[in-house]
């Protein structure tokens, strides 16, 4: 099991081209500090190998089989919620985040929908021509489970 936590300023691997960067405000780089993109908090990996026993009478047919599996579970990766529009009027829409709506749960967790759009607003952001208060990579997406299994026969 691995537990990891790492923060960075926006995306350290990105260039400072404001068309694709997650940097919200070029004059306040610290405002775009948060969890590293793509890094889950927890990861668990296990490997299981089991030799399937066979009765003496059927050993020539059933003997030598092994069941192996590699299982991996990881927690959710960070999600950077952006508004997708130029609220400030600086000519770029990339990286601009909304304000959180107090008292509204941002998670829905129903099927393929993970975040609640009603938990975010750009009304104050647009009216005041300012950057949103929502933090960088504030939320986490769903976890993932991977199972790889196979049976093999070792011939003697």
β-pair type (107-110, 65-74):
unpaired
Neighbours of 52 (CB within 10 A): 12
Q: 0.95 exceeded by the pTM?
A: no
pLDDT digits (tens, 9 = 90+) for 18-56: 444 567 777 777 777 888 877 888 999 999 999 888 777
Residue 82 in 3-state DSSP? coil
Q: How many CA atoms lie within 13 A of 155 on its CB side?
A: 0
Domain ranges of the chain: 2-153
Render pLDDT for 46-81 as a digit per residue (tens, 0 to 9).
999 998 887 777 777 777 888 999 999 999 888 889
Q: Which helix (H) or strand (E) holds 77?
A: none
∠ CA(151), CA(153), CA(156), 5° rounding? 165
């Amino acid at each position: 099991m691995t537990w990891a936590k790492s923060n960075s300023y926006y995306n350290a691997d990105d260039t400072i081209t404001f068309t694709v960067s997650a940097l919200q405000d070029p004059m306040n780089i610290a405002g775009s500090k948060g969890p590293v993109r793509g890094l889950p908090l927890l990861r668990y990996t296990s490997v299981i190998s089991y030799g399937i026993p066979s009765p003496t009478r059927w050993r020539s047919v059933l003997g030598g089989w092994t069941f192996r599996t590699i299982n991996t579970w990881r927690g959710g990766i960070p999600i950077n919620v952006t508004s997708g529009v130029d609220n400030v009027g600086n000519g770029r829409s990339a990286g601009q985040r909304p304000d959180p709506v107090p008292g509204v749960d941002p998670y829905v967790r129903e099927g393929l929908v993970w975040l609640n759009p009603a938990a975010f607003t750009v009304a104050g952001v647009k009216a005041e021509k300012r950057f949103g208060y929502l933090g960088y990579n504030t939320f986490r997406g769903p976890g993932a489970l991977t199972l790889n299994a196979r049976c093999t026969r070792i011939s003697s």
